[in-house]
Homo-oligomer: A and B are copies of this chain.
């Protein structure tokens, strides 16, 4: 695959092909990299997803819309979509990142996808970016089940396991990143009987647990 093929898959013909190249350029490769486009694309993505959820679920309160959006735009979701698009092999990485497997690193792929959305926005405007976001996230958007997503994930998982007479999941902190004022927690939710180990993340231990529980639930239930 090359950049033209990616543009074709995205359904956007770039007027300025250099924008797509910049979006695929990691900071380890060049000072002229995708970080600014990522900043922009992140906000375009959030806006498009907010719009989609607002229209699709006229009965859902704001809190549920926020929660569902957070799941849709989190790193793991974006990584999976970026991976499905084959973005990894098109990334421009520095020597070190290349050797240490940067092409498969979730944060790098998720960031590149956001940068691509920013590039489409600059190249073709909001509607062009909206089309690309909706196309890329279609499998996720079409799968949204508000009844499931708006329910507390730990509760949902617990009810699911209890209904099958399985032991409760175990949660453990596997990492904390960042300085004191912007910590990130990583928590593992393990269900040994199902050989599931799901890692979630968030700004607090509780948020990371909910995130991990949501992933574990999806793995366990196939939802």
Interface residues, chain A, CB within 8 Å of chain B?
A: 35-36, 38-40, 42-44, 46-47, 49-51, 54, 60-62, 65-66, 121-122, 126-127, 180-182, 203-207
What are the residues of chain B within 8 A of A181 when measuring CB–CB? 204-207
Residue pair A61, B35 in contact (C-beta under 8 Å):
yes
Considering the chains assembled together, what is the distance between the CA atoms of A188 and B171 in angstroms?
38
Given the interface pairs A46-B47, A204-B180, A207-B181, the reply to whether A40 lies near B61 with Cβ below 8 Å is no
User: What is the chain B residue whose CB lies nearest that of A55?
Assistant: B122
Residue pair A35, B47 in contact (C-beta under 8 Å):
no
Residue pair B36, A40 in contact (C-beta under 8 Å):
no
The minimal Cβ–Cβ distance linking A7 to chain B, given in whole angstroms, is 21
What are the residues of chain B within 8 A of A47 when measuring CB–CB? 43-44, 46-47
Known: A35-B62, A39-B54, A43-B47. 20 other contacts (CB 8 A): A35-B61, A36-B60, A36-B65, A39-B50, A39-B62, A39-B65, A40-B50, A40-B51, A40-B54, A42-B50, A43-B43, A43-B51, A44-B47, A44-B50, A47-B47, A54-B122, A126-B126, A180-B204, A181-B204, A203-B203
Residue pair A66, B39 in contact (C-beta under 8 Å):
yes
Considering the chains assembled together, what is the distance between the CA atoms of A147 and B54 in angstroms?
38
What are the residues of chain B within 8 A of A39 when measuring CB–CB? 50, 54, 62, 65-66
What are the residues of chain B within 8 A of A205 when measuring CB–CB? 181
Residue pair A62, B50 in contact (C-beta under 8 Å):
no
What are the residues of chain B within 8 A of A50 when measuring CB–CB? 39-40, 42-44
